[in-house]
Structures are given as C-alpha cells and as structure tokens.
C-alpha cells in the first residue's frame, strides 16, 4: 500500500478500533497471516482507530488496482481517498459487509511499519463489541467520508507515480456520490 502516512509520535492506545470485512457474521476475529506487512510478524488481527480508513477494506482488492490515501488539508482536515482503476472488477467484488468495533486493550502499533499509528495489531483472538452492516462497500465508504474515484488505467498509473500521491490530479476529478 503506497500511502502518505506520517507517524504521530504522541500515540495513545485507542479504546476502540475498527476492522472491516465483507463477512457480516464474525463472532470472533482469529489472528491470521494471510495479509501481511512483515513476514516475521506471524498471525495477527489488523484494526485501525480510523473508521473511514477501515471502510476502504470492506471490498476485497489489492494495491495493483486500488490506492488508499489520506491527505491533510492546510486546515488540518483529513481527506480519505480510494482510487480504483477497474470499475467493473470493483462492482463485482462489492458484496457489502460490516465494520466491526473492537476493544483496543490487547492491540499494539509499530510506528516503523505499514500505516504507522493508523494500523494496530493483536496476536490473540478478539471479540467485536459492535458492528455496523452495509449493503455495499461503496455505501460504507461514502457514509464514512471517503472520496472514491474511478479512473482509467493510465490515470491510475499517473496517480501512483506522482510525488504528491495524486493530490493535484485528484483535484481535477469528481468523486462518486
């Protein structure tokens, strides 16, 4: 995942973290090593204190055709963005899902890995304390403030290769509503 995540040196452990899944019926999250950021880390449960960011993970995708970013405006407001290069593939994969609330007690973060303080891991099973279901992942993202852009493959590559993570290009495009 190519992101513009800057670590926050004053990180406090969140009371609640979020995990999104296309599966709406999870009673307990088991640590897994399917999606890894470090092969030596072993099985973990991933979560984030950022519900908008979590919503970007309801629809299964890879970094080869999607890009997730968070931009900070001069006003310090954060804008979440998901850029998708294959609209048909996304629509086929979008079966809806849920965003689960997880207790932050046993989670830890590593400011040197992945999404820094936006990505927390737990090495033990975790029971959700709540969940919000969505008919589509697109609904979840838009409801949580994510700007979703469908672009052609050429524009996607320009965004991926740009030094500003696509900020200037995205200013010229209209997000989905």
Q: Which residues of 111-139 are buried (b: 16+ CB within 10 A; e: fewer)?
A: eeebbbbbbbbbeeebebeebbebeebbe
Asked whether residue 10 is domain-assigned, the answer is: no
Percent of the chain past pLDDT 70, that is, above it, reads 94
Asked whether residue 176 is domain-assigned, the answer is: no
Residue 106, exposed/middle/buried by CB under 10 A (0-12, 13-18, 19+)?
middle
* Both tokens assigned to 61: 């995708």
Asked whether residue 5 is domain-assigned, the answer is: no
Asked whether residue 177 is domain-assigned, the answer is: no
Number of domains in the chain: 1
At 39, which CATH number? 3.20.170
The dihedral of CA 27, 28, 29, 32: what is its sign? negative
- Going by pLDDT thresholds of 50, 70 and 90, the confidence category of residue 3 is very low
* Both tokens assigned to 23: 């599966």
pTM: 0.89
Distance, in Å, from the CA atom of 143 to the CA atom of 130, rounded to the nearest integer, reads 17
- Predicted confidence at residue 20, as pLDDT, reads 98
- Predicted confidence at residue 1, as pLDDT, reads 34
When comparing pLDDT for 149 and 36, which is higher? 149
- Predicted confidence at residue 2, as pLDDT, reads 37
- Predicted confidence at residue 4, as pLDDT, reads 52
Distance, in Å, from the CA atom of 45 to the CA atom of 32, rounded to the nearest integer, reads 7
Asked whether residue 102 is domain-assigned, the answer is: yes
Task: Tell me the per-residue pLDDT of 46-101, one tens digit each, with 9 for 90 and over.
Answer: 999 999 999 999 999 998 999 999 988 788 888 999 999 999 999 999 999 999 99
Distance, in Å, from the CA atom of 105 to the CA atom of 99, rounded to the nearest integer, reads 18
- Predicted confidence at residue 113, as pLDDT, reads 84
Asked whether residue 143 is domain-assigned, the answer is: yes
Domain with 158, as residue range(s), is: 16-170
Number of DSSP helices (H) and strands (E) in the chain, helices first: 5, 9
- The yes-or-no verdict on residue 8 having pLDDT over 60 is no
Cα–chain-centroid distance for residue 74? 23
Asked whether residue 21 is domain-assigned, the answer is: yes
The residue behind tokens 């979440």 is 80
Asked whether residue 138 is domain-assigned, the answer is: yes
- Predicted confidence at residue 9, as pLDDT, reads 58
């Amino acid at each position: 995942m190519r992101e513009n995540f800057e670590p926050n040196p004053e990180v406090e452990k969140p009371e609640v973290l979020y995990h999104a899944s296309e599966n709406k019926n999870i009673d307990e999250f088991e640590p897994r090593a399917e999606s890894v950021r470090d092969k030596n880390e072993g099985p973990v449960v991933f979560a984030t204190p950022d519900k908008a960011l979590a919503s970007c993970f309801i629809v299964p995708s890879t970094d080869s055709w999607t890009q997730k970013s968070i931009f900070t405006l001069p006003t310090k407001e954060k804008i979440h963005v998901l850029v998708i290069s294959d609209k048909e593939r996304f629509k086929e994969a979008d079966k809806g899902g849920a965003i689960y609330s997880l207790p932050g007690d046993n989670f830890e973060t590593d400011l040197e890995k992945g999404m820094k303080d936006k990505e927390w891991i737990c090495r033990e099973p975790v029971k959700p304390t709540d969940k919000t279901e969505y008919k589509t992942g697109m609904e979840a993202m838009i409801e949580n403030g994510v700007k979703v852009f469908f672009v052609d493959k050429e524009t996607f590559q320009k965004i991926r290769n740009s030094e500003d993570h696509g900020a200037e290009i995205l200013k010229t495009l209209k997000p989905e509503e």
